[in-house]
Amino acid sequence: MVDLNILFLTQYFPPEVGAPQNRIYEFAKRLKDNGHNISVITAMPNYPIGEIYDGYKGKKLVIEDYNGIHIIRTSIYATKDKSFWKRIRNYFSFTLSSVRSGLKQVHDHIDVLVVESPPLFLGWSGYKIAKKLHCKYVFNVSDLWPESAIKLGVLHNKLLIKMSVWLEEFSYKKADIITGQTRGIVENISSRGFKDKTYLITNGVDLNLFGKDKINREFIKNNGLENKFIVGYAGIHGIAQKLETIIEAANLLKDYKDIMFVFVGDGPEKPMLMNLKEKYGLNNVMFLPVQPKKNMPGIVASFDCALVPLKKLDLFKGALPSKMFETMASNVPIILSVEGEAKELVENAKSGICVEPENAKEISRAVLKLYNNADLREEYGKNGRKCIEENFDREKITKKFENILKQYT
């Protein structure tokens, strides 16, 4: 017997690889396994390369099944140009197509619509779709927009800022339920008068997928990493991460021939990072492309330590990067250069070393500390896994989310 008919609206979804893609898919999969009927309206896959994937090119609408989940894909303007106006066009194209094309393909009764933000513009789409379907509207906030865009320096236009601030408030008012991914996000939204309908639904990890026993020996061998101390970064190569600091740290450690900094992923800053590597003539830095989702547990488990950086901004004091959870679940110690909530978590769990954001010297010292102390690496790894098992098991988090949905329907 089907319990609830749940529709997700998200710009990002597998086969794309990334934190929002993985989060929504894992929720959808588990809710389906718990007896709910799940559908997803999403865009043609194009992230992070800015080009529609093979098999989807030239199509305005694709209806497909993805591991038992009903998927409605609508058109999006994909571009490799990361300039501000091109990104806005990217967001708006799916905002409109999700309503114009996606909504027409929803034929079943829907009880709940779950909208993933960012992009914030989907708040408008969600309102229109929920109103048309006469269903409850859940607005999930993974990042505070436009605040984050303004502080990162990617949003300057005064008119757009004014429109975005209005749309943010509009989305909060129209939603029946608001969920935030971190304590900082929830506190921010609650302080604006929405406390009674705002809930904390953190990120989490599939404990069966991640663990030190998943280590991928082939990955190590094929990339010439045998007998290397692997300092790993896996994720988006974006502005927020300030990854050039890691290149600077690698430059400070270039005389340690068995320490290798390995970047896995893609993003707008990757060409700059590769140029910086060449500028310094570094042989201790390796760039690998985006990897299939199924390969990531083995890759993360292969790291001797993992880097989790963000820019030194007050904005990020409320951030909890998803890669933290996968790293800790893999018994891999963290070098965290993030302040606030994330730092508090790592320090309380005793799962790694916290350093000042954007400080290459402190990162290099932390790498050496772990490089020289295998017992400390093992201790931090065990502590991290224990913390995840107790607090960030995705199965338990999904159950909490499910109970909130049932409460409102």
Overall size of the chain counted in residues: 409
Q: Which helix (H) or strand (E) holds 72?
A: strand 69-74
Weakest-pLDDT range from 140-149, 173-182, 337-346 = 140-149
**Hey, what CATH class is 212-391 in?**
alpha beta
Determine if the pTM surpasses 0.75. yes
Nearest to residue 30, comparing CAs of 312, 405, 382, 299?
A: 405
Quickly state the pLDDT bin for 164 (edges 50, 70, 90). Answer: confident
Residue 365 near residue 334 (C-beta atoms within 8 A): no
208 backbone dihedrals φ, ψ, rounded to 5°: -80, -20
The amino acid sitting at 246 is I
Across the range 325-344, mean pLDDT stands at: 96
Predicted pLDDT of residue 87: 79
Tell me the two tokens of residue 380. Answer: 């931090």
Predicted pLDDT of residue 20: 87
Predicted pLDDT of residue 48: 79
Across the range 50-65, mean pLDDT stands at: 94
Residue 70 pLDDT > 90: yes
Task: Tell me the Ramachandran region of residue 263: left when phi exceeds 0, alpha when psi lies from -120 to 50, beta otherwise.
Answer: beta
Residue of 22 and 315 predicted with greater confidence: 22
Contacts of 224 (CB under 8 A, 6+ apart): none
Query: Which part of the chain has CATH 3.40.50.2000?
Result: 5-204+393-408, 212-391
Q: Within a 10 A sphere around the Cβ of 281, how many other Cβ atoms?
A: 8
Q: b or e along 379-408 (b: 16 or more beta carbons within 10 Å of the residue's beta carbon)?
A: ebbebbbebbeebbbbeebbeebbebbeee
Residue 403 pLDDT > 90: yes
Residue 88 pLDDT > 90: no
5-204+393-408: CATH architecture: 3-Layer(aba) Sandwich (3.40)
Predicted pLDDT of residue 2: 59
Residue 308 pLDDT > 80: yes
Residue 319 near residue 310 (C-beta atoms within 8 A): yes
Instruction: Convert the pLDDT of each residue in 362-381 to its tens digit.
Output: 999 999 999 999 999 999 99
